[in-house]
Chains A and B, each alone.
Chain A
Amino acid sequence: MTVWALFASVFLACAVEAVEATTIVLAAGTARDWRSALIGLSSAVVVLAVAVVALGPAIGALPIQALRLFVGGFLLVFGLQWLRKAILRAGGYKALHNEDEIFRKQLAAARAAATQSVGIVPDWYAFTLSFKGVLLEGLEVVFIVLTFGTNDGNVPVAGIAAGAAIILVASAGALLRAPLARVPENAMKFAVGTLLTSFGTFWGAEGAGAQWPGSDAALLAIIPLTALLAVGLVAALRFEHRRSSTLAARGPAERSEALR
């Protein structure tokens, strides 16, 4: 993989996670207490840094064949999950991820909770909300950076891409002091799901002992074919969704006639 392809893949995947984490921190800070939300954010970053220090060398110590099998398998499961959700959302079978709506719900829940001070944290609720949100989304960032970076032998570039995505999204969130609702999140998830599935397919099969025709150039066929499969599934779901909506709007007699 070229350095730019590695950078673009990690940047895109981490930007999606950063949008979700930023929404949660903004809700905790706006509704409750900014100091507690920022302590929660910093604490989660420290835990994630410890995870990188602990996991990084362990993953790097694996032989390349075993690493590709292990990482490829995980990326494939991860990628198929992302792609499944993105296809269902695009096909109208799952509500679109609405950062405005999530922000409003988090705000309402945060405002209703009681305030409790613990140690240097003035508001424990804001701290835990922010800490949990950043830790959960951050774990996925750590996973993507370590797997893509180690597999390609370039963890620094993967780390820089993740850092750039997080800084960009967090700065936009801090400037706007509002959830990043205009980010086309499902389109990004669709692209990331396609990339994770494609790289998972490539590395997983290679790790299991397969020889790809054309070696690395096989990715140039795997990525568009995966995207094509996903787009085809969205089209099929949309068609099915329209058909069942039309049938539901008709009377029972017309419905059984149409189904005949």
Chain B
Amino acid sequence: MIAGKLKAFGAFWYDFIIGDDWRVAVGVVLALAVTAAVSRANVSCWWIVPAAVALLLPGTVWRAARASRTRDTGSSS
């Protein structure tokens, strides 16, 4: 009973913060970590996060679209 409630509580926060694609959250954390590391070397690093967005957004959209197509093909066959 308590374990079930804890699980539901964890699932709610996971869904609220991470959402449908965990790779996006991991990608964002990695991009920020790389930016922080590069900035310590006094090298220009403002472009890292925009570049990560330019890769992460098409990636997550493409995966969702592919999953949707696979579902449609599976249900129609």
| B partners with A | yes
Smallest distance from the beta carbon of A53 to chain B beta carbons, Å?
20
Tell me the interface secondary structure of chain B in the complex: helix
Closest Cβ neighbor of A222 among chain B residues: B50
Picked from A80, A93, A200, A209, the residue with its CB within 8 Å of the CB of B39 is A209
Give which listed residue, A91, A139, A210, A237, contacts B35 with CB less than 8 A: A210
- In contact, B46 and A210 (Cβ under 8 angstroms): yes
B25 on the A face (CB < 8 A): yes
Whether a CB of chain B sits under 8 angstroms from the CB of A229 is: yes
With A74-B17, A209-B36, A209-B45 already in contact, the answer to whether A94 and B68 are too (CB < 8 A) is yes
A interface footprint on B50-70 (CB within 8 Å = 1, 0 otherwise): 100110111011001100110
Q: Which of A81, A87, A218 has the largest number of chain B CB atoms within 10 A?
A: A81
Provide the bound-state CA to CA distance between A85 and B28, in Å: 18
Q: Decide: A81 and B19 in contact? CB cutoff 8 A.
A: yes
Checking A93, A139, A205, A240 against B49 with a beta-carbon cut-off of 8 angstroms, the contacting residue is A205
User: Which residues from A are CB-within-8-Å of B46?
Assistant: 205, 210-213, 218
Residue-wise, chain A 197-220 has the 8 Å CB interface mask toward B (1 for contact) of: 100110011011111110000100
The answer to whether A76 and B53 touch (CB under 8 A), given A81-B19, A81-B20, A84-B64, is yes
CB distance A84 to B17 under 8 Å?
A: no
Instruction: Determine the interface band of chain B, counting residues with CB < 8 A from chain A.
Output: 35 or more
- What DSSP secondary structure best describes chain A's contact surface? helix
A121 at interface, CB cutoff 8 A: no
With A73-B28, A87-B61, A201-B50 known, 18 other A-B pairs at CB within 8 A are A69-B32, A73-B29, A76-B53, A77-B18, A80-B57, A81-B21, A83-B57, A91-B61, A201-B49, A208-B32, A208-B33, A209-B40, A209-B45, A210-B39, A210-B48, A212-B46, A229-B58, A248-B76
Partner of A76, one of B33, B36, B49: B49
